[in-house]
Structure 1
Amino acid sequence: MSTIMSFQVALNFEDGITRFIECRPDETVAEASYKARINIPLDCRDGACGTCKSLCESGSYDGGDYIDEALTEDEAALGHCLPCQMTPHSDLVLRIPSSSAAAKTGAATHTATVVDIKRHSDTTVEFTLAADDREALGFLPGQYVNVAVPGTGQTRSYSFSSGPGQRHLSFLVRIVEGGTMSRYLTERAQVGDRLEFTGPMGSFYLRALTRPALLLAGGTGLAPLLSMLEQLAQQPPGHPVHLLYGVTTDQDLVHLDTLRDYADVIPGFTFDHCVADPNSTARNRGFVTGLMDSGTLHDGDADVHLCGPPAMVEAVRAHIASLGVSPASFHYEKFTPAVVRETAEAA
């Protein structure tokens, strides 16, 4: 007896919460979501009202039947779609213009075991988890989870530094004096500890690359970009990808060997790094903006993904504006210790 294969569909809601469903090629995304008890808001189910109109950011599909008032030809050409009509031809990523609460769903909670703790330097530590339900846990490269810090009743947000296809989940953490997670990881954490986390979350994630890409990381903002690179290593982009990585001091530099390894396996991938400390031994001293010009941005024909502290994000945005170049798309995420992340995009 033959079985019909299913595709994975990521539903990213406007509040940043992402849920993954399985959808067969003979059923609509809306039908599959209802089976998973996720109620994408819609009124008609017939392609007539446009209530469920969403944006497909990755993958191929049959758009189904609908009237022009629900979805115009121009909208369809830009990737807009109707989940009540569309059937998948591949894995999909959909941006749903409603909150997860409106769809009567929310972020999933997972439990995991600490399998590794690596102190890269006085400023950076990396911890790795084995999730109890790894097969059921999906995420988009670049997303984050809220980790409950054992024994504190507090949570902290960390981006995956591992790729969606890797068995274990890794996270990079900057050590902050007196920080709740910093104290746990440096003073109490042991292999075998049990942790709970909620997610995935975030609208900062890798979209399908249709042109050259520029990735920019500040400090541990490298983490989500490592996740993106792992994905690109499994699915070569077919376009040049350049990464600029900036830190404050030499000891803040981590995973340079990992970046070199990716440069060996991802066609068209290159990277450079810089250190702000004037006493650094790095080849480039200063900030990532000193390594950027209109050529780095392919005169605007580039997708930009930027993750770092607020000051860096604002400096990069101002620098790009001063160059008189508007990237084809601009996705960024700001982070600060113990503060909710801010994500945004500009086209």
Structure 2
Amino acid sequence: MTHSRSLSHHRVTLSDGTQFDVAPGQTLLQAALSAGLEWPNGCRVGLCGSCRCKITSGQVKALTDFSDVISQADLTQGHVLACRCQLESAIDVSSDELYGRLAPDDADIDATITHIDWVTPLVQLIEVELDHPHPHGYAGGQYTRLEVPGVVPPRCFSFANACRGDGRLRFLVRVFPGGRLGEWLSQEDRCGQRLRVGRPLGHFLFRDHHRPALFFAGGTGLAPILAMLEELASLPAAQHPQVRVVFAARDQQHLFHRRFLEPIVNRWAIGTSIDFVSVLSREPRPSSWKGLRGHFFEHLALLTAGFENADTYLCGPPGLVDAMKFYLVKRGFDRTRISADRFLPSTS
């Protein structure tokens, strides 16, 4: 099957013989979807890894750094993110590996909102119950797309609890102007309302419980970290790693991490260290706050003490995540052991 071609376009050939063309300025994913192909995808901004594919010949230009999503070994073998690359020549792509990820049971699942709670003036906790659990479950650190059909288009949110197989999910939703789901939730009591939950997406996953883990979270970026920690807490005590969670907020009224982290700490193995630290960037003076002020990178020596060889996880707004990654690498942290999940605001 061949799709139409015009001058200055680059041709893509899949190993099953399918061909299509990519126009100047188009990403590989945009061209594939425009050609009517069923190409796996999720966030479409380079965060989830769902659209990854293996280039077997030809050249592409990466629009962003793939290393947060694709391992160095896979990068060396030609794996790229289709949503974040443009073609510099004709390319060949392995279709066997690509279509193998198109599972027939990955359909959205209907669900009901069972609980809503304001945890800060700008963040809501919503609890959802699926009509039936997802057949494959999900891993801590992954996210999904929530949709209120006809009202709120699909928006991406990380799971804020570990998968228990009972179809009960938690999400943290930041409310801000233009944030469709947050605004809709704020208008009236939405308990009992129906919504649609997509398949699990993303590769922001816990790596190895044999190594210490250092987490940095800003705002609702705490959600995937909570899911990871709940998963770890359910493991045998001997598998609990040394953990530190550093949470950033504007001021004391925006601190909400203790409510969720303290129950996890109480389940941790005796004798294995787990602690959490807060850093406030805009706490007024004077105030009752006795903790750290400013930004993460201003206190790196203190925050990373004892975790110099840890796997590090960064989650929050892109500016915060990118700055932290820069300063951690500058401080000597191994870039390949830093995982990042950037939360991009979804607006109308």
Question: CA 1:317–1:188 in 2, change beyond 3 Å: closer, same or farther?
Answer: same
Maintained 8 Å contact 1:305/1:330: yes
Residue 99 of structure 1: how far off its partner (Å): 6.0
Counterpart Cα distance in 1 of 2:223 and 2:277: 16
Residue 293 of structure 1: how far off its partner (Å): 2.4
Deviations 1:174-223 (A, max 9, x none): 11023211111101452111110212000112223221110110110000
2:274 corresponds in structure 1 to 269
Maintained 8 Å contact 2:214/2:307: no
Q: Which runs of 5+ in 2 are unaligned?
A: 1-39, 43-47, 55-72, 74-93
Which TM-score applies when normalising by structure 1? 0.65
Pairing 1:101–2:87 present: no
1:249 corresponds in structure 2 to 251
2:241 corresponds in structure 1 to 239
1:84 corresponds in structure 2 to none
Question: CA 1:104–1:158 in 2, change beyond 3 Å: closer, same or farther?
Answer: closer
Counterpart Cα distance in 2 of 1:253 and 1:157: 23
The alignment's C-alpha RMSD in Å is 3.1
Question: CA 1:166–1:247 in 2, change beyond 3 Å: closer, same or farther?
Answer: farther
Counterpart Cα distance in 2 of 1:208 and 1:152: 41
1:205 corresponds in structure 2 to 205
- Alignment-mate amino acid for residue 176 of structure 1: F
Question: CA 1:294–1:255 in 2, change beyond 3 Å: closer, same or farther?
Answer: closer
Question: CA 1:118–1:166 in 2, change beyond 3 Å: closer, same or farther?
Answer: farther
Maintained 8 Å contact 1:142/1:228: yes
Question: CA 1:249–1:326 in 2, change beyond 3 Å: closer, same or farther?
Answer: same
Question: CA 1:104–1:179 in 2, change beyond 3 Å: closer, same or farther?
Answer: closer
1:159 corresponds in structure 2 to 158
Query: Which stretch of structure 1 is more off in the superposition, 225-234 or 144-153?
Result: 144-153
Maintained 8 Å contact 1:213/1:241: yes
Question: CA 1:98–1:210 in 2, change beyond 3 Å: closer, same or farther?
Answer: farther
Maintained 8 Å contact 2:216/2:315: yes
Residue 230 of structure 1: how far off its partner (Å): 0.7
- Alignment-mate amino acid for residue 274 of structure 1: V
Residue 295 of structure 1: how far off its partner (Å): 7.6
Residue 318 of structure 1: how far off its partner (Å): 1.6
Counterpart Cα distance in 2 of 1:329 and 1:97: 30
* 3-state SS of paired residue (2:231): helix
Counterpart Cα distance in 1 of 2:303 and 2:111: 44
- Alignment-mate amino acid for residue 105 of structure 1: A
Query: Which stretch of structure 1 is more off in the superposition, 222-231 or 185-194?
Result: 185-194
Q: Which runs of 5+ in 1 are unaligned?
A: 1-12, 19-40, 42-74, 76-95, 340-347
- Alignment-mate amino acid for residue 207 of structure 2: R
- Alignment-mate amino acid for residue 140 of structure 1: A
1:222 corresponds in structure 2 to 222
Question: CA 1:210–1:191 in 2, change beyond 3 Å: closer, same or farther?
Answer: same
Matches within 5 A, 1:1-347: 16=48, 101-105=99-103, 107-134=106-133, 136-152=135-151, 154-165=153-164, 167=166, 168-235=168-235, 236=237, 237-267=239-269, 268-279=273-284, 281-282=288-289, 283-293=291-301, 296=304, 298=306, 300-326=308-334, 329-338=337-346
Residue 299 of structure 1: how far off its partner (Å): 6.5
* 3-state SS of paired residue (1:115): strand
Counterpart Cα distance in 2 of 1:97 and 1:303: 33
Maintained 8 Å contact 1:215/1:225: yes
Which TM-score applies when normalising by structure 2? 0.65
1:44 corresponds in structure 2 to none
Counterpart Cα distance in 2 of 1:197 and 1:99: 26
Deviations 1:142-191 (A, max 9, x none): 10001113432511100010111264200001110232111111014521
Counterpart Cα distance in 1 of 2:242 and 2:171: 26
Deviations 1:284-333 (A, max 9, x none): 21122234228826564211111110111011012112213326611111
Maintained 8 Å contact 1:214/1:297: no
Counterpart Cα distance in 2 of 1:98 and 1:205: 25
What is the number of residues matched between the two proteins? 255
Counterpart Cα distance in 1 of 2:303 and 2:282: 26
Question: CA 1:251–1:100 in 2, change beyond 3 Å: closer, same or farther?
Answer: farther
Question: CA 1:266–1:129 in 2, change beyond 3 Å: closer, same or farther?
Answer: same
